[in-house]
Chain A
Amino acid sequence: MGPKVLVLRTAGTNCDYETEYAFQIAGAETALIHINNLITGRANLDEYHILALPGGFSYGDDVAAGILLANEIKHKLGDLLRNFVDSGKLIIGICNGFQVLVRAGLLPGFNSQIAQEATLALNTSAKFECRWVHLETQQTACAFTQGLKQRIFLPIAHAEGRFTAPNQILDELESNRQVVFRYVAPNGKSPLYPDNPNGSDLQIAGICDPTGRIFGMMPHPERFLTRLNHPHWTREHLPEKGDGFNIFQNAVTFVRQNFS
């Protein structure tokens, strides 16, 4: 049985097409499922190995980015998701999906209690921005980023991406090695705006839960799958595969190794 990915959608989801495509070229089967079909039981989460929450503006990001979908997940799919994670399966949230995972309390997910411990606030530039950023991969247990290059390049596109939390939470994230990606200046130094595009605490761009199986990030790996996605492909020699591809590949490999 090949790895199967459920790409969850609801009103306002986008990025679903390219997220499905990313998993497909990494060797997975994908299904794009509306959340109502999970709630009513018309679709069965247990049939899948990876749950992907793609980017977009779920329910218009009304109130705050991702909060309505986060509440829906928490209150209507909480047990389903807990069982999914406990059975060793993977969840990835990208951009709006990351905002949902944080607001639903699945990330950082210090204990199995679902409670929100951090947030993704309005960018310090106070506006939506689309730009490419450099990221530094941290040494973590994250199943999605094992063996990734130390420095990768990906686009962001968001208005609410400033990761922030009380100091004790940040300390715990650090000591647990849950910070997966940090924004970094092109010269490797600590980034200022726009290299840290949103003003995130500790330059945090992505985090995982203590198991490394729930992972969320603001940048979009599904937008850098081939060299033609890179803004410099007309001026530099680049490898055929983009930096984002390995994240999907790792997830698929993880499933093959653990669920075959």
Chain B
Amino acid sequence: MNFNPNSSFLYLVAAFVILFILVQSLFFLIRAYRRGKEIGMDAKKLRKTITSSAIFTIAPAISILLGVLTLSKFLGLPLPWIRLSVIGAITYELPAATSTASALGVSLSETITSPTVYSAIAWVMTLGILPSTILVPILLKRIQGGLVSIKSKDSKWGELLITAMFLGMISAFMGMVFSNIRKGLPGWIPIFVMLFSAVLMAVCGLFIRVLKVKWLQDYALPICMIGAMVFAIIITPAIL
């Protein structure tokens, strides 16, 4: 059979997976929203959470879309579309495809025409990421049980523990921003962008706390993020 990585069959598979993801997300969204109302949370606040989360998501989602574009050059559109709509991320899918292609002695410089190579890549992408999905139902209750017992012994330490974990994640990513500074001024661009974003956030904080611009609180993060991305567009050509 002739193989086309953009065939209607593959689009059909993609549509099925995307529909599954949408239904699952809607199920949890509606359930949590109802629960919020049930325990007396302000419906207005719940709706604001939806709006602010949606707006925050736009920029990162477009960057994920760029990942689909990158992979589509050799895998066609449907498979990258599936992979990046589910647990996959470009940082994983690209090495997975490269690793499989090199194991099969195939180059990824052009569109794949062999269905066997294509299916091998699809298998590696799937199996490589599956553990993080299936570990959740296996481990979640145990992890929560552990946290509950820590909290019941010492609630302040329980809270500190979660904050410390989050700070650990932030510090790893903020540290990564410094990885190119030995390359001279262009290596400093990400740091300037990060600092600009931080300063924007501090300014937003002033507006929220001192000038009482309450609506800004819900949109501060996406505003700072997009502001800093625009800043990157302005300073990069000036520096390079």
Chains A and B bind each other:
no
Task: Give residues in A with beta carbon < 8 Å to B.
Answer: none
Task: Give residues in B with beta carbon < 8 Å to A.
Answer: none
